[in-house]
Amino acid sequence: MRIVHFSDIHVGCLTRDMTAVADKRAFGLLNYFLRRRRMFDYELVPRAIQRIHVLSPDVVVCTGDLTCVGSPEEFEQARRMLRPLVEAGNWTFVYVPGNHDAYVRSDACAAALRQTFSELNSERWDLAALPCEFRVRDLTFLLVNEARPRAPWLSTGGLPPGDAAALNAWFRAPRRPGEKRILAGHFPCLDAGGKRLSLRRRFDQDRSLSQALRSSQIDVALCGHIHRPFLRDEAGGALEICAGSLTAAGILSVLDYVPDADRFAHFWVDVKGGEQAPAAVPKAMATAGAVE
Ligand SMILES: [Fe+2]
Ligand SMILES: [Fe+2]
């Protein structure tokens, strides 16, 4: 069983919605065009897709931040870029939203996110159905939507009380024989160095996620948000894997589950490295990371 994971492609473009000048999108777009656009190389997306074909995964996961300000125009471009992953048919492609995908309270933006979520997940679920789980052989994936519009100075995320209760119930539920559990969300509970993220950037339920990993109630948490990839392993063997930003770092995370050995194996693939065979790169890509 092979899972290829990437995150945070951050497509950015101007929006036709003039109300954007009066809310958080004005700051986000200014920041994007003055500073962040230079950080992202969108040519890495088709190169990554080529590599994914070579890697031949069973599941491909994108853990959010497709966009910069969550506008319909940005979502349209992101869907176009990622459509080959949906249409390939060789694997199950899964997407969960990041904080930039639910940037402001806007009906048009919310509708674009719902449409994008449904389309990229091949109409399997409505966004409102999350958290929900799906199974691929021994692996059970729980998909969570941690993205909610927040104040302009915040890049935080969190779950409403009902979703948080469902997540905690899933952590505590007994496992099926041989079952491995993988959470797919946007936010890491800790950074690469094992510290909580700052108040301005963290996940509201980071402590319960951290506890679930420490106590091995889940085996793997896949996330993004921090743009430099990292992997943390808990003493009990659970993994938190942040794929970083594909368009900034150019890295794919590859996780193999070997049922006979009952273990996970992980490596990174650098999609900037030409067309040679996938190469392993160091487990920890960074000790600190630029976020969001
Ligand atoms: Fe983020
Ligand atoms: Fe991001």
pLDDT tens digits for range 72-89 = 999 999 999 999 999 998
Give the tens place of pLDDT for each residue, 133-173.
Answer: 999 999 999 999 999 999 999 999 999 999 999 999 999 99
What separation in Å is there between the alpha carbon of 186 and the centre of ligand 1?
A: 7
Ligand nearest 68 Cα, by number? 2
What mean pLDDT is predicted for residues 234-250?
96
Query: How high is the pLDDT of residue 204?
Result: 96
DSSP 173-233: SPPPTT-EEEEE-S--SS-TTSPPPPTTT-BTTHHHHHHHHHTTSSSEEEE-SBSS-EEEE
What separation in Å is there between the alpha carbon of 227 and the centre of ligand 2?
A: 6
Ligand nearest 245 Cα, by number? 2
What separation in Å is there between the alpha carbon of 178 and the centre of ligand 2?
A: 34
The answer on pLDDT for 189 being more than 70 is: yes
Options 3.90.1150.10, 1.25.60.10, 3.40.1410.10, 3.60.21.10; CATH for 2-270 is 3.60.21.10
The answer on pLDDT for 283 being more than 60 is: no
Ligand nearest 156 Cα, by number? 1
The answer on pLDDT for 276 being more than 50 is: no
In which band, very low, low, confident or very high, does the pLDDT at 31 lie, cut at 50, 70 and 90?
Answer: confident
- Whose structure tokens read 């790169």? 281
What separation in Å is there between the alpha carbon of 177 and the centre of ligand 2?
A: 36
The answer on pLDDT for 291 being more than 60 is: no
What separation in Å is there between the alpha carbon of 223 and the centre of ligand 1?
A: 9
Closest CA to 42 of 9, 6, 73: 9
What separation in Å is there between the alpha carbon of 176 and the centre of ligand 2?
A: 34
Ligand nearest 203 Cα, by number? 1
- Please state, for a pLDDT cut of 70, what percent of the chain lies above it: 93
Query: How high is the pLDDT of residue 150?
Result: 94
pTM score, two decimals? 0.92
What mean pLDDT is predicted for residues 61-78?
97
Pairing of strands 180-184, 2-6: unpaired
Kindly state the helix (H) or strand (E) to which residue 26 belongs, with its residue range.
helix 24-34
For all residues of the chain together, what is the average pLDDT?
A: 91
What separation in Å is there between the alpha carbon of 81 and the centre of ligand 2?
A: 17
The answer on pLDDT for 282 being more than 50 is: no
